[in-house]
Amino acid sequence: MSTCLTCRKEFDGRSNRKFCSISCKNKFHNTRNREKEATVNDINKILHKNWVTLHKLYGIYRSAPISLDVAEAYGYNPKYFTHIHNSPFGEKYTMVYDLGIKNHIDNQIQIISID
Ligand SMILES: [Zn+2]
């Protein structure tokens, strides 16, 4: 006897089977995929908010150094970015799509538009 991972019903069959039916197997995987997609959606929302926030800040300050605290107060979350860009001048930018962040040691950042 095995116990179905979805409906908890006991069923006969090969001992390595985890589900009583195809329907329970599908339900289990659909739920798991939905949870994985929810995680991706949550991160996408943060990235999108970062992108909107950085564009707003870039519209105000251009590439002048601003305090990270100010950027965070506007809604920027520095833990989330899309990739790292190494400039030809040896500078490293943390990218949020088309906008780069240059981090300074004094808790200031500069927003750089990469075309
Ligand atoms: Zn079942």
Q: What is the pLDDT of residue 13?
A: 80
CA of 75 to the centre of ligand 1 (A): 45
Domain map of the chain by residue range? Answer: 18-113
Q: Is 19 exposed, middle or buried (0-12, 13-18, 19+ CB in 10 A)?
A: buried
How far is the C-alpha of 33 from the C-alpha of 69, rounded, in Å? 36
CA of 7 to the centre of ligand 1 (A): 4
Q: What is the pLDDT of residue 35?
A: 95
Selection from 79, 113, 73 nearest residue 93 by Cα: 113
Whole-prediction pTM: 0.81
Distance of CA 39 to the CA centre of its chain: 8
Q: What is the pLDDT of residue 50?
A: 98
Q: What is the pLDDT of residue 16?
A: 87
Q: What is the pLDDT of residue 115?
A: 72
Q: What is the pLDDT of residue 114?
A: 85
Q: With a cut of 70, list the residues of the chain below it in pLDDT.
A: none
Q: What is the pLDDT of residue 58?
A: 98
Say if CB 91 and CB 102 are below 8 A apart: yes
CA of 33 to the centre of ligand 1 (A): 18
Q: What is the pLDDT of residue 34?
A: 96
CA of 54 to the centre of ligand 1 (A): 49
How far is the C-alpha of 15 from the C-alpha of 54, rounded, in Å? 55
Q: Which run of H or of E encompasses 50?
A: helix 22-61
How far is the C-alpha of 75 from the C-alpha of 71, rounded, in Å? 7
